[in-house]
Structure 1
């Protein structure tokens, strides 16, 4: 293989492995260094490939090269040209479906979610009405819904998108009926042949009825039958029925309640409202302007720039025609520029704007107007992340690192370690590369303010933070203020991914998350800015590094009066033992015993659940603490007259895994000091809701049960992981935290000593007394009666299926019933009513999970089970075939195993 071919392969590799952004890896210099060749030679080879349409060239400084086929396959798009003036222009061409809508992940997020649901809903989607003022993008959303359905495989490739503007037929409703439904030959004078209507032409595709409010009432009524049953008559033929499976999208600029027949509205289950441009966030308006200018730049094949005054005017103008009017302003301004400019770079100036904009123009702009005003390249308006911001690079790198976790390529611990290194590299850049930069008075104020905040938080959460670390945090926040707009734009693009990461960190590292969140909230309050939620991710990871690993069995806490007595003893002992055993809380000399007890309580509240705690106190605190501390879920040992040798001895026992009771015995034998033991308080009662279908269903069962209570009760109703209970039984951590009264769910995990109440028993109401026996102690007779009625109402089969799934309850129950009857017939087994109802709920939830691609694919021992039960599994597949075809889902083997469990009970 010669050098030129190797060069193309290396470029392909880099294109596939790295994001499309300004990166030196895609320059001729980087490739020349890699191959140890001259830059001119490599550049010549690359330009040859550009001419042969194998490489895409971006004419910036420096010039970037990308492998064309690799880029097209990676981003599922096609590029007609091979030379572009910016990476940003490439990205515009790469946008797909709803990504083309500015605000798709921001102000329009909810709207687009509903639009996706309308197109995806089985079998033929749901009719949807899009409301909003003129020019807000209703027609564009409708066409993007069609694109989305096509790309997702919901519609066939040859499916059509047919758009009708009903306002054109406002004075001739008969013509609209004819165009929609078609006619037969002789239906009216001039009907010389059969004519297919738009509804039939759109069969299998999408029919968009814009300005639907212009339809007369009788025209709206003619749509009823088609919307209900998918059938219609052609004009002039009332005997033959025609059929179409098109999806319907309606749009109106008016209030639908005032202009549409209510019987039509009732047939449209999804109604969305598009906000006007003035209601959209400023950052989205900036992005709209940027995107429109970039598109005009591509159309003109010229670089565009804009004056500062012109940009501010376009940004601040109140557009009555919304996005449509903004687009017209951009096009008109570019057209004027095109007439009087004769250069490679076109520049939009204030005087190029439409005349009517000057009437409402900011007087300050007119007063200070200068023809030699500041000029800005359109590329510089790009508010997407730029590579010249190290903090924004950190955002990108951290997000990409967490994607390795989603791909299951690395564990969470490995991801956290990678992220720590990335954050530390950024901190190094801040501390060393910017060390000699000028420090403003604002930065000095921020450092002092942050020092006070950290002191309060360290005291509250009982940990220490070096001064150098506080200085770094102040520098981070200062750096953030410089790129706050970029950061918030970035967050709007990645909000869902960030929220998933935050949820994971909050679940796995609750204490670190709380500390980071409190630190940021206080910093934002004093800085008078609002940081995006990805800063919570960064600071939580940083706190994970700050907080030392603590012993799982016994925690150590030292309480002493004085400025740094407790923390000094704790630090000394931790260093001698080579492990973080103790936290220290320094107390004021005049602090009350009640306040000391409160400090200990706060300390425990922000820890992981622990069972054993050793408290070492100074002289005079023991009796007061002993009388006031009664903390649940924890055995507490208290030792008086703390000193470094005593703490060292206790820490040594903790290291060896000794429990509180045994440690106290040893200390009493070796030291002449007082000790006390506070036995674990009674655990709180709990009822666990579980479901083999998933934790999401368990949460919904918990909600239904909680909503059935006439008043709050001391016992907690907790949704919990079914598989964790099956695997661990009474040894699961939940049993150490709560007194588990019973389990309520769809499938019995068979935990010895813990009663299980099948969900179907609540549906059938034949064993509600089992539940009453456990919660009845909290209610009087009147409340018990209300509880029974609430359970009967909330746990009716149709209600619970409707609550647990997004599907139509009655429809899914009918489909499930057909499956259950067929399964019983094929297996030659009759189920009792209890098992049958349980299977109804299980399969209803299963169908939804399969539709959402959340089926269980792997279960330990599945291979052996499949061999031993092959015949029965094949019969279940056969019985499920109708459901499979109806909902376009596939049934994995583990799910069949769970279904068969119902027949084996």
Structure 2
């Protein structure tokens, strides 16, 4: 194992604060020191190049030798890159005659900055304060300036799985007519972070399509139940109006109507027998209307069909929703509704050998009263 200790051949000003660069690699430290010394026009920095396998003891030994032949009463500044080098500062304190300034994550710029400070005659304490402010990485995340591609974001409050199925149906509906990306994204993140989420940074988002509105200011939303019921036609024309002519939009809308029939949506969302599932869900919804003594609008019925169908498959797969906001408060305040929902959906529990939990009941309650 070889360690390279590089010192300048030109004599140092013994009164000056000493400075050294230590880094892994055959010539990493010496290259940084050499570049900075050349730019500064004076030899300020010594360097120690070390192999990856070098131990802390090896480095300490070389530093002790350096300290024996160099005056450090006015201070010593050591730049290091990573790893074991960060462990040496405490072990060499007993060998130094003056203050020690330790700076990690070495690059050319901070070394050069310290070099300027040393030439100006700053004290080691002044340099330490200056570098505390300066030594922070500048991180810039840049996105393309070119025109963003158009996209529609799909989302579902029950999870990304349903959003991905909606994504597939939309892709099938528009792929032959429009160059629009369909991007499935997490509902909770959309609701929490809004426009700062990745789809809005990468695309010109035309709309969000899903089972619930995340309420992002300035972004169109089309509910899945509106698409299934046919009420979303005006939204389709409005959203695609800026990128396609009416004839193309009409053909897209026809495809959406075809692909988003209730049967096809549920068929795409579950592996269960669609016809049997829809009949069982229909029985549950009828019973739920009786239990609650109310008639649901068509929009709510469609939303319940889709949600309950997905719920049955989740329960069969043993992957139920396990959290509901303020669940304890919900259980205390809505005992009647919880009992009614569970009773109405008992036909599903019996037929599919599943059991509803409170979070699943809570989201059905949300749809009923949304």
Please state how far the C-alpha of 1:744 moved relative to its aligned partner.
0.8
CA spacing shift, 1:876–1:680, aligned 2, 3 Å: same
Mapping for residues 345-424 of structure 1, pairs under 5 Å: none
Alignment pair present for 1:829 and 2:355: no
For residues 795 and 581 of structure 1, the distance between their equivalents in structure 2, rounded to whole angstroms, comes to 57
Q: Equivalent residues in 2 for 1:129-168 (5 A)?
A: none
- Specify the alignment match of 1:645 in structure 2: 112
CA-to-aligned-CA distance 1:133-187 (integer Å, 9 cap, x gap): xxxxxxxxxxxxxxxxxxxxxxxxxxxxxxxxxxxxxxxxxxxxxxxxxxxxxxx
CA–CA distance in structure 1, aligned partners of residues 358 and 305 of structure 2: 19
Once residues 165 and 143 of structure 2 are traced to their aligned partners in structure 1, the CA distance between those partners, rounded to angstroms, is: 38
Instruction: Find the aligned partners of 2:247 and 2:111 in 1 and give their Cα distance.
Output: 61
For structure 1, list consecutive stretches of 5 or more residues without a partner in the other structure. 1-464, 468-571, 583-641, 662-676
The aligned counterpart of 1:855 is 320
TM-score of the two chains, using structure 1 as the length reference: 0.27
Report what 1:763 is aligned to: 228
Partner residue in 2 for 1:693: 158
Q: Which runs of 5+ in 2 are unaligned?
A: 1-23, 27-78, 83-101, 117-130
Query: By how many angstroms is 1:737 displaced?
Result: 4.1
**Any residues of structure 2 matched to 1:343-742 within 5 Å, and which?**
578-579=104-105, 645=112, 656=136, 683-711=148-176, 713-742=178-207
Q: Which residue of 2 aligns with 1:785?
A: 250
Measure, in 1, the Cα distance between the counterparts of 2:134 and 2:303: 48
Q: Which residue of 2 aligns with 1:877?
A: 342
Shift of residue 735, structure 1, vs aligned partner:
3.8
Deviations 1:19-77 (A, max 9, x none): xxxxxxxxxxxxxxxxxxxxxxxxxxxxxxxxxxxxxxxxxxxxxxxxxxxxxxxxxxx
C-alpha displacement at 1:742, in angstroms? 2.0
Which residue of the partner structure matches residue 126 of structure 1?
none
Deviations 1:580-613 (A, max 9, x none): 889xxxxxxxxxxxxxxxxxxxxxxxxxxxxxxx
Residues 1:892 and 2:365 aligned together: no
Q: How far apart in 2 are the matches of 1:678 and 1:902? A: 38
Q: Secondary structure at the match of 2:345?
A: helix
1:613 alignment counterpart? none
The answer to whether the Cα contact below 8 Å between 2:152 and 2:205 also exists between their aligned partners in 1 is yes
Matched with 2:9 is: none
Cα distance in 2 between the residues matched to 1:678 and 1:739: 13
Q: Secondary structure at the match of 1:882?
A: helix
1:705: Cα distance to partner?
Answer: 0.2
Question: What corresponds to 1:840 in structure 2?
Answer: 305
Distance 2:177 2:113 in 1: 46
Q: CA deviation at 1:771?
A: 2.6
Q: What's the counterpart of residue 796 of structure 1? A: 261
Contact 2:237 2:246 in 1 (8 A): no
From the superposition, tell whether residues 822 and 751 of structure 1 become closer, same or farther in structure 2 (CA, over 3 Å).
farther
- Taking a change above 3 Å as real, the CA distance of residues 852 and 656 of structure 1, as seen in their structure-2 partners, is same
Q: Residue in 2 aligned with 1:748?
A: 213
8 Å contact 1:577–1:652 — kept in the other structure?
no
Deviation at 1:757, TM superposition (A): 0.9
Note the C-alpha offset of 1:853: 0.6
Q: Is the 8 A contact 2:311 2:320 kept in 1?
A: yes
Displacement of 1:738 in angstroms is 4.0
1:573–1:647 contact (8 Å) kept in structure 2: no
Q: In 1, Cα distance between the equivalents of 2:185 and 2:295?
A: 31
Distance 1:466 1:786, change over 3 A: farther
Q: CA deviation at 1:685?
A: 3.8
Post-superposition offset of 1:849: 0.9
Q: CA deviation at 1:715?
A: 3.9
Question: Offset of 1:700 from its aligned partner?
Answer: 1.0
Q: In 2, Cα distance between the equivalents of 1:852 and 1:648?
A: 65
Conserved 8 A contact 1:745-1:759: yes
| Mapping for residues 317-336 of structure 1, pairs under 5 Å | none
Deviation readout 1:626-677 (Å, 9 max, x if unpaired) = xxxxxxxxxxxxxxxx89637999x98786476769xxxxxxxxxxxxxxx9
1:753 to 1:652, Cα distance in 2 relative to 1, 3 A: farther
Select the structure with the greater relative contact order (CA < 8 A; seq sep ≥ 6): 2
The DSSP-based 3-state class of the residue aligned with 1:777 is coil
Indicate how the Cα distance of structure 1 residues 823 and 749 shifts in structure 2: closer, same or farther if over 3 A, else same. farther
Shift of residue 770 of structure 1? 1.0
1:865 to 314, 317, 330: 330
Aligned partners of 1:734, 1:795: CA distance in 2, in Å? 24
Residues 578 and 786 (structure 1), Cα distance of their counterparts in 2 relative to 1, 3 Å cut: same
- For 1:581 and 1:743, how far apart are their aligned partners in 2? 45
Q: How many residues align?
A: 264
Summarize deviations over 1:541-597 as a string: whole Å, max 9, x none: xxxxxxxxxxxxxxxxxxxxxxxxxxxxxxx79668524889xxxxxxxxxxxxxxx
After superposition, the C-alpha distances for 1:750-805 in whole angstroms (9 at most, x for unaligned) are 33433321111111112222133223433344432321221111101111111111
| Cα distance per residue 1:60-111 (max 9 Å; x no partner) | xxxxxxxxxxxxxxxxxxxxxxxxxxxxxxxxxxxxxxxxxxxxxxxxxxxx
Change in Cα spacing, 1:643 to 1:856, as seen in structure 2 (3 Å) is closer
Aligned to 2:355, what secondary structure does the other structure show?
coil
**CA 1:775–1:866 in 2, change beyond 3 Å: closer, same or farther?**
same
